[in-house]
Chains A and B, each alone.
Chain A
Amino acid sequence: MRQWLQRKAYEAMAAYTRKLQLHPVSSIAEAPTPFPAPTAIGRSSPSGFKLLALNNLRDNKGATKEKRRLGRGIGSGRGKTCGRGHKGQKARSNRPRLGFEGGQTPLRIRLPRRGFHNPFSLTFKPVNLKSVAESVEQGVLDSGDLITMKTLKDVGLVGKQMKDGVKLLGAGADKFSLPLHFEVSRVSKKAKAAVEAAGGSVTRVHYTKLGLKALTKPEWFAKKGRLLPRPAQPAPKMARQVDEVGRLPAPTSRPQPVASSNLEQE
């Protein structure tokens, strides 16, 4: 019995594969002028079997789920009450709004308001002198160039989200001895002192969020077909925290002092 079944299965398989195989047909049709019939063009001229046609398309079995049809009579099993049971909140169409506690003063109203939101607060990503020195040692960061927030981000010192900019901090300041030139949003006193003691400089530059995007991802604007935004001026009350307006597109060298460039021209 088992052998018979196996033989049957084998025969069925063979018949199926035979059906699917495309036999080349080498009949040559009469050639009309001026276009002769295409014969033996491409791979072959097969029999009439088609792999794909509009009338043999179908989706996978189980790809679509049948809709639950409610209220279509007793035979359907979801007739009178449509599977909702009898009476009550769950049997009705609308549920009370989110946070409604049946008329009792809801939690969000019962408790007092607390705290406040400062719309002017800025959060900076910290970057320590230690990690900068490490990446210069490893040769990832070029100590000759100006170090902007873009270079810091490209090296991977900032992480994925920059928020409102980068603040240079002084961890590892006592061992820092590289004459580097930085352009960052903010800098701690200790870090500034350490950099300047090593013969470098730190400039606190102002970028808005859009400006930071233009600094770190100028290709995003090119892809959208937009121009790079102009650098934003800092608000007057930020004057103490900021030295210069951030330059766009991303600078690679320190700005030439105006006086010296005038001298050169003369």
Chain B
Amino acid sequence: MNNVQKCMAMRALSRYLRLQSSPASVKPQVNQPWLSAQRRVVSYLRATHAGGEKQGCYNDIEMKVTNFNNEDKGTALLAGDVFDVPIRRDIVHRVVVWQLAKRRQGTHSTKTISEVSGTGRKPYKQKGTGQARHGTLRGPQFRHGARMHGPKPRDYSYTLPKKVRRLGLKIALSARVAEGKLLIFDDVSPSSHKTKEMAKYIEGIEQCKRVLIVDGTDKVNTLLCRATSNLYAADVLPAKGLNVYSILQHDALIMSLDAIRLIENRMHTPINR
């Protein structure tokens, strides 16, 4: 029995016992030597929400909805299986590494001995010159010679299981929710196109240097684009383009309610096999 099996067996056993003994006073009595010494196979990052409740319980979350003018626009209920997922750094790490790998251009190229310019003639005869023997002047040991085992254009992308990609996004969103760094706007269109005002607004957000604004429409709001295009502190994405790496690059996330619903929809549609 390996640790995974032990862990699963114990979980099943405890669930069974819980079902059997409905009154809370009856506690499962298990005398198994390995129970005390069991190891955690998957490590979650333990955290709590601001309200004090435990993070990662898949509970639906009620959040205030506002806008750039900080007006109260009521509340919205966020799906717990998207915005309150246990935080696993390893999954996010895998997604980020995958994203960075697949965006590599891979156009690096060096020349091998057959590609380097120059003749392939033997420079001088094998014996009698007193020199070291050479068959070509473009070997890797020569100046202007070839490169051994050098880089050639290639594709760095690989496939990450779709379940892992999806889980990564859920975790990243859940982390921002737990940090209190997800703001929900009913509309991400600012009242003016001025960069200065947008910059002031972003400065006002506590503990936040950069913010990612996610619009629910396919084509991002033009006023928003104008106001943020020259700002280092703000980036804009349509909901379609929301991804783990972009979320992690920014300290805070501003999402329109439409974007929230689109993402929830995306996370709830079954994975296409």
Contact = CB atoms under 8 A, between A and B. Distances in A.
B46 interface: yes
B96 A50 contact: no
Nearest to B41: A60
Given A35-B201, A42-B64, A60-B90, A50 B191 contact: no
Contacts of B47: 20-22, 51
Interface string A96-125: 000000000000000000000000000000
Interface in B183-227: 183-184, 190-192, 197-198, 200-201, 203-207
A53 B248 contact: yes
A35 B190 contact: yes
Interface in A55-69: 56-60, 63
Contacts of A31: 70, 204
Interface string B240-254: 000000001101000
A58 B93 contact: yes
A35 B191 CA distance: 8
Contacts of B45: 20, 51
Given A32-B201, A34-B192, A52-B248, A45 B180 contact: yes
B257 interface: no
Contacts of A58: 89-90, 93
Interface residues on B, range: 35 or more
Nearest to B182: A42
Contacts of B179: 22, 46, 49-51
For chain A, what secondary structure do more than half of its interface residues adopt (helix, strand, loop), or is it mixed? loop
Contact of B66 (A27, A34, A38, A43): A38
A17 interface: yes
A40 B49 CA distance: 14
Nearest to B244: A52
A59 B42 CA distance: 11
Given A36-B69, A52-B87, A54-B248, A43 B51 contact: yes
B175 A51 contact: yes
Contacts of A25: 206
Interface in B145-199: 171-172, 175-184, 190-192, 197-198
B46 A20 contact: yes
Contacts of B69: 34-36
B43 A43 contact: no
Interface residues on A, range: 35 or more
Contacts of A45: 180, 206-207
A48 B180 CA distance: 10
A24 B52 CA distance: 10
Contacts of B248: 52-54, 57
Nearest to A55: B248
B70 A38 contact: yes
A197 interface: no
B265 interface: no
Contacts of A256: none
B101 interface: no
A47 interface: yes
Contacts of A188: none
Interface string B27-50: 000000000000000110111111
Given A38-B205, A42-B183, A60-B90, 12 more contacts: A31-B204, A36-B204, A37-B205, A38-B204, A41-B66, A42-B182, A45-B180, A47-B207, A50-B175, A52-B248, A57-B248, A58-B93
Which are the 5 A-B pairs with shortest beta-carbon distances? A37-B204, A44-B50, A35-B201, A52-B175, A57-B93
15 contacts: A22-B49, A24-B50, A32-B204, A35-B69, A35-B201, A37-B205, A40-B64, A41-B66, A43-B63, A49-B179, A53-B248, A56-B89, A57-B92, A57-B93, A58-B89
